[in-house]
Structure 1
Amino acid sequence: MISTAFEILGSLGMFLFGMKVMSEALQKLSGERLRNLMRTMTQNRLAGVGTGFLVTCLVQSSSASTVMMVSFVNAGLLTVVEAIGMIMGANLGTTTTFWIVSFLGFKFSLSSVALPIIGVAMPLLFSRRSTLRDSGEFLIGFGLLFLGLVFLKDAVPDIKNNPEALEFIRNYTGHGLWSVLVFFAFGTVLTVIVQSSSVAGAITITMAAKGWIDFPTAAAVILGENVGTTITANLAALSANANAKRAALAHFFFNIIGVIWAVIFFVPLTRMADWIMPGDPLEPGNIPFHMAAFHTGFNLLNIALLIAFVPQLGKLVNRLIKDRATRGDEHLKFDSTIFPQTGELNIAEAEEDVQKMTQLTRDLVSGFVQLYENADVEMGERVKELKQLEKDSDRMARETTDYLLQCSAGSVSDSSMAKISSLMRVIAELEDMCDRGYRLVLLAERRHRKKRDLPAETRVQVRQFSEIVLRFVDFTSTCLRRGVQTSDMETAYQLENFIDNFRKSLRKESIARMRQSGDQVKAEMLYIDILNNMEAIGNHSLNILQALRHHD
Structure 2
Amino acid sequence: MDFGLLESLNLLGALGFFIFGMKIMSEGIQKAAGNKLRQILSSMTRNRFLGVFTGFLITLLIQSSSATTVMVVSFANAGLLSLVESIGVIMGANIGTTVTAWLIAFFGFKIKISSFALPIIAIGFPMMFAKKSTLKSVAEVLIGFALLFLGLDALKNSVPDLNQNPEVLSFLATFTDYGILSTILFVLVGTIITIIIQSSSAAMALTLTLLYTDVITFEVAAAMVLGENIGTTITANLAAIVANVHAKRAARAHLIFNVVGVIWMILLFSFFIDLVKWLWVPFQNGLTAAIPDIGSSQEELQLSLFHTVFNIINTLLMVGFVPLIARVVTKMVPSKGDMDEEFHLEYIGTGMMLTTEAAILEAKKEVAKFGKLTKKMIRFIPKLLVETDKKEFKHLLARIKKYEEITDRIESEVSNYLAKVSEGELNSSASERIRSMLSIINDLERIGDVCYQMSKAIERKSDKKVWFTPEQRQNLKEMFDKVDQASDLMVKNLEQDYDLVQLAKANELEKEINKLRNKIRKEHLVNIETGEYNFASGIIYNDLFSSVERLGDHIINVSEAVAGEV
Question: TM-score if structure 1 supplies the norm length?
Answer: 0.89
Deviates more, 1:461-470 or 1:318-327: 318-327
Deviates more, 1:166-175 or 1:240-249: 240-249
Aligned with 1:488: secondary structure?
coil
Matched with 1:222 is 225
Name 1:430's counterpart in structure 2.
444
Q: CA deviation at 1:73?
A: 6.1
Instruction: Assess if the C-alpha contact under 8 Å between 2:243 and 2:351 holds in 1.
Output: no
- What residue is the counterpart of 1:112 in the other structure? 115
2:292 aligns to what?
none
CA distance in 1, matches of 2:102, 2:173: 27
Gaps of 5+ in 2: 288-294
Q: Is the 8 A contact 1:344 1:407 kept in 2?
A: no
What pairs up with 1:493-504 in 2 under 5 angstroms?
493-504=507-518
**Does 2:211 align with 1:183?**
no
**What residue number does 1:333 align with?**
350
d(CA) in 1 for partners of 2:220 and 2:330? Answer: 36
Q: Is the 8 A contact 2:501 2:562 kept in 1?
A: no
Tell me how far 1:203 sits from its aligned partner. 0.9
Task: Look up the match of 1:45.
Answer: 48
1:204 to 204, 207, 215: 207
Is the alpha carbon distance of 1:502 and 1:389 closer, same or farther for their aligned partners in structure 2, counting shifts above 3 Å? Answer: same
Q: 1:169 matched to which residue of 2?
A: 172
Take 1:132 and 1:231, find their aligned partners in 2: how far apart are those partners? 35
Aligned pairs (5 A) from 1:434-449: 434-449=448-463
- Structure 1 residues 201-210 or 517-526, which shifts more? 517-526
Query: What is the aligned counterpart of 1:251 among 250, 254, 279?
Result: 254
| TM superposition shift of 1:379 | 1.9
- Whether the 8 Å CA contact 1:114–1:144 is kept in 2: the answer is yes
- TM-score norm. by structure 2 comes to 0.87
Determine if the alignment matches structure 1 residue 94 to structure 2 residue 97.
yes
Taking a change above 3 Å as real, the CA distance of residues 320 and 333 of structure 1, as seen in their structure-2 partners, is closer
**1:184–1:220 contact (8 Å) kept in structure 2:** yes
1:358 matched to which residue of 2? 371
Are the structure 2 counterparts of residues 459 and 518 from structure 1 closer, same or farther at C-alpha, using a change threshold of 3 Å? closer
Q: Which has the higher contact order (CA 8 A, sep 6+)?
A: 1
Contact 1:124 1:133 in 2 (8 A): yes
Contact 1:45 1:307 in 2 (8 A): yes
Q: Contact conserved, 1:236 with 1:332, CA < 8 A, in 2? A: no
Counterpart contact for 2:124–2:140, Cα < 8 Å: yes
Deviation digits for residues 346-400 of structure 1 (CA, Å, limit 9, x no counterpart) = 2221111111110111011111122223356542112222322222222111111
Instruction: Label 1:163 to 1:153 Cα distance change in 2 as closer, same or farther (>3 A).
Output: same
* 2:235 aligns with one of 218, 224, 232: 232
**Which residue identity is paired with 2:546?**
N
CA contact under 8 A between 1:210 and 1:284: conserved in structure 2? no
Task: Give the CA deviation at 1:95.
Answer: 2.1
Cα pair 2:200 2:228 within 8 Å, conserved: yes
State the match for 2:529 in structure 1. Answer: 515
Q: Kindly provide the CA deviation profile for residues 495-537 of structure 1, in whole angstroms up to 9, marking residues without a partner as x.
A: 3222222221222222222222264333233233222222223
Q: Distance in 2 between matches of 1:181 and 1:451?
A: 77
- More moved, 300-309 vs 432-441: 432-441
Unaligned runs of 5+ in 1: none
Query: Structure 1's 230 and 484: CA in aligned 2 closer, same or farther, altered over 3 A?
Result: closer
Hey, what does 1:297 align to over in structure 2?
309
2:131 equivalent in structure 1: 128
Q: 1:389 aligns with which of 395, 398, 403?
A: 403
- 2:274 matched to which residue of 1? 271
Greater CA deviation, 249-258 or 272-281? 272-281
CA contact (8 A) 2:244 2:349 kept: no
Q: Read off the aligned partner of 1:366 and give its amino acid letter.
A: R
Q: In structure 2, what is the equivalent of residue 313 of structure 1?
A: 325
Q: CA deviation at 1:117?
A: 1.4
Shift of 1:261: 0.9
State how far apart, in whole Å, the 2-side matches of 1:295 and 1:467 are. 63
Q: Choose 146-155 or 51-60, whichever is displaced more.
A: 51-60
Residues 131-140 or 485-494, more deviating: 485-494
Query: How far has the Cα of 1:305 moved from its partner?
Result: 1.4
Give 1:78 shift: 5.7
Aligned partners of 1:77 and 1:352 also within 8 Å: no
The residue aligned with 2:360 is 347
1:70: how far off?
Answer: 5.2
Aligned to 1:421: 435
Aligned-partner Cα distance in 2 for 1:539–1:40: 38
Say which of 276, 289, 299 aligns to 1:287.
299
Given that 1:70 and 1:233 are in contact with CA atoms closer than 8 Å, whether structure 2 keeps it comes out as: no
The 2-side partners of 1:449 and 1:284 are apart by 92
- Do the aligned residues in 2 keep the contact of 1:452 with 1:523 (CA within 8 Å)? yes
Count of aligned positions: 547
Q: Which moved more, 1:311-320 or 1:360-369?
A: 311-320
| Change over 3 Å in CA distance of 1:392–1:195 after alignment to 2 | same
Question: What is the one-letter code of the residue matched to 1:490?
Answer: A
Shift in CA distance, 92/455, structure 1 to aligned 2, threshold 3 Å:
farther
Q: Which stretch shifts more, 387-396 or 542-551?
A: 542-551
Deviations 1:38-97 (A, max 9, x none): 667977323443454455456644345445655666787765444433332332332232
**Cα deviations by residue, 1:460-506 (Å, 9 ceiling, x for unpaired):** 43343233323333333333343345871334333322222222122
Distance 1:391 1:530, change over 3 A: same
The separation in 1 between residues aligned to 2:480 and 2:396, in whole angstroms, is 18
The alignment yields a C-alpha RMSD, in angstroms, of 3.1
How much has 1:259 moved relative to structure 2?
0.8
1:370 aligned residue (376, 379, 383): 383
Change (3 A) 1:54 1:396: farther
Q: CA 1:245–1:486 in structure 2 vs 1: closer, same or farther (change >3 Å)?
A: closer
